[in-house]
Amino acid sequence: MKPSSVLERVNYPEDLKKLSLEELEPLSEELRSEIIRICSRGGLHLASSLGTVELTVALHRVFSSPKDRLLWDVGHQSYGHKILTGRKDQMDNIKKEGGISGFTKVSESVHDAITVGHASTSLANAFGMALARDAMLGDGTGEFYHIIPIIGDGALTGGMALAAINNIGYKKPKMLIILNDNEMSISENVGALNTYFRTLQVQKWFQDAEASGKNLVRRFSRPLEQMITNAKDAARTFFDPHSKNPFNAMGLRYVGPVDGHNVLQLVYWLEKIKELEGPTILHILTKKGKGMNIAEHDPIYWHSPSKFNPSQPEEVQKGYSWSNAFGDAATELVDQRRDIYVITPAMREGSGLVEFAQKHPDRYLDTGIAEEVAVTAAAGMALRGMKPIVAIYSTFLQRGYDQVLHDIAIEKLNVVFAIDRAGVVGADGPTHHGVFDLSFLRNIPNISICAPKDAFELRAMLKKSLEQHGPVAIRYPRGSVKPAPAGTWDDIVWGSWERLVPGNDVVILAVGKTLEYALEAVKGTKDVGVINARFIKPLDTTMLEDIAQRARAIITLEDNTVVGGFGAAVLEHLASRDLKPDVRLMGIPDHFMDHAEVASLHAQAGIDAAGIKVMLESLGVPVGVVVGD
């Protein structure tokens, strides 16, 4: 950042208000360059933040944060907001351990109106804030402030967002909703009359005059009032077809579309709209990755790219992940059985389904950010003889919990859940850690739950799950994995565990990702066994009871909360058989873990190799030097 730069002079929103209008465009360009520099280290949300630069500048120019509340839906696009609200010097540590969050977070800054990470939540939050504001104004205990939720066209597909709009349109509280449209192709309205008519909609004098005129006419004749209203609506439809749209039908004033990369135009519209009563939606058109050519052309990959050189971003390298392993397996399986249908809630790329969608478009459904719809659509398919696979992140499956229980499990429908990002996910933090799925799924009757140790086992479980009667959940972590060659389909006995290291004194029952830590921890120990406890439900009760009768102690190891997870299942079964070995539960502690590298989070939880060695030592097992010393 150059000492003479505009951005150098802006540390808080009030600094931005001191700039001339002519300085807002260079500020936007400098902000965009700074976001690219920050995101070049990899793992950060680049394209979304680039697409909202001008909007961010305009919002902080017109409104007064933190008094006025800016609610960024999802929070992917909030990097510019963070830079302009006192966190400029902390951005190099964003999403690093001890650093600031990659999303907005109430406990981090007074400028962050909501803690967020899931989509479609901003409108309901804003609705609640508006009702609270108006209630406190009514009894004289509060003050007025503007409420501005910013939601993308993708997040608007969520049922929660649409339901919130329905309530906002009914109660009509004063608020401004920014619809950040970076995907939909909408024809541009042109012509002087169109521009003038849309300008009239946001002139306070026009709204006041319209209301006064209505009141006057109403005194003389209600039929005349209705005739004038019908005439106005007809004229509006002629001059401005966009005035007749779903937002108007649901009770919101609609303005747009507006160029979301013209900062001066945005300032103009925001200044006008802020004076209006009731709810208004400003529809802006933006481009994800704006200002970085490669990101504009491939905004999906550049949504959160790996480390790159800003001057040569095309040289970025892509690895092979668990998501790729699932996608490859699913793509092959469709050729073997045509009753498969893969469903995902807006996670095609993240779930490794790009190739699948291209090769099998007739067996692929993206429901958008509507997890509940994805799950219940799968139920409908299963009821008619299909074998649907729902590819979904662990943290997002939380939204479809009732549908799993009510729509699928009760009738024991044949639906497979490919649960990606299970366990802690690292830098995305507590809103994205998938550490609850074992607990919230395990208590549902009729469901099977398993966790593969590698890509070979993932393929075997996926194939075998299609032969089961009833729902199956296969959970696997975020990160890289060694690929299994195409065409390889290892067999697996459903519900069976696998003994990897012999030993009967102390036995470690490890699930999924934690298995590699267990294998590392027992090197050099004597009579400590390691079991690949790949089935969480049903448990391999035959092996478990045999171990309990022989072992002095059992350690359960999982990348899931210890509350109600795999360890709890082991304890429950042993208690039902009156078997009482010393059982030690190791997993994610009963609190929300912050963002950090996965290895660091596992170390904090004590479930890495070093933590396991400490547990073994507490049981009197000589382990030598603890890993990491």
List, for residues 135-163, the tens digit of each pLDDT value.
999 999 999 999 999 998 888 878 888 88
Whether 130 maps to a domain, the answer reads yes
User: 507-554: per-residue pLDDT in tens?
Assistant: 999 999 999 999 999 999 999 999 999 999 999 999 999 999 999 999
Whether 586 maps to a domain, the answer reads yes
Angle, to 10 degrees, between the axis of helix 609-618 and the axis of helix 514-521? 50
Domain match, 228 and 287 both: no
- The CA–CA distances, whole Å, from 141 to 138, 147, 171, 496, 593 equal 8, 18, 21, 63, 36
Write out residues in the chain with pLDDT < 70, as ranges. 1-4, 183-245, 314-317, 624-629
Whether 346 maps to a domain, the answer reads yes
Domain match, 271 and 150 both: yes
Range of the domain at 222: 190-239
Domain match, 456 and 521 both: no
User: 440-459: per-residue pLDDT in tens?
Assistant: 999 999 999 999 999 999 99
Of 469, 464, 478, 379, which is closest to residue 426 (Cα–Cα)?
A: 478
The predicted structure's pLDDT at residue 233:
55
Domain match, 458 and 371 both: yes
- Residue 84 C-alpha from the chain's centroid: 24
Tell me whether residue 399 is one of the annotated catalytic residues.
yes
Catalytic, out of 133, 198, 288, 453 = 288
The predicted structure's pLDDT at residue 621:
93
What CA–CA distance (Å, rounded) separates 427 from 447? 31
Whether 58 maps to a domain, the answer reads yes
Domain match, 377 and 462 both: yes
Whether 214 maps to a domain, the answer reads yes
The predicted structure's pLDDT at residue 302:
76
Tell me whether residue 482 is one of the annotated catalytic residues.
no
Q: Where are the alpha helices (DSSP H) in 350-412?
A: 354-359, 371-383, 394-397, 401-403
**At 18, which CATH number?**
3.40.50.970
Domain match, 157 and 208 both: no
Q: Residue 392: beta bridge partners? A: 419
- The CA–CA distances, whole Å, from 360 to 215, 337, 353, 599 equal 60, 12, 10, 37
Pairing mode, strands 528-532 and 498-501: antiparallel
Domain match, 406 and 521 both: no
The predicted structure's pLDDT at residue 197:
35
The predicted structure's pLDDT at residue 188:
32
- Residue 295 C-alpha from the chain's centroid: 20
Domain match, 218 and 334 both: no
The residue out of 425, 441, 475 marking a domain boundary is 475
Q: What is the pTM of this model?
A: 0.85
The predicted structure's pLDDT at residue 249:
76
The predicted structure's pLDDT at residue 566:
98
Domain match, 221 and 259 both: no
Catalytic, out of 34, 54, 332, 371 = 371
Q: How many domains does the chain have?
A: 4
The predicted structure's pLDDT at residue 196:
38
**At 560, which CATH number?**
3.40.50.920
Domain match, 219 and 170 both: no
The predicted structure's pLDDT at residue 506:
97
Tell me whether residue 371 is one of the annotated catalytic residues.
yes
- Using the structure block, give the residue that is written with the tokens 């934690």: 514
Catalytic, out of 69, 399, 513, 537 = 399
The predicted structure's pLDDT at residue 119:
86
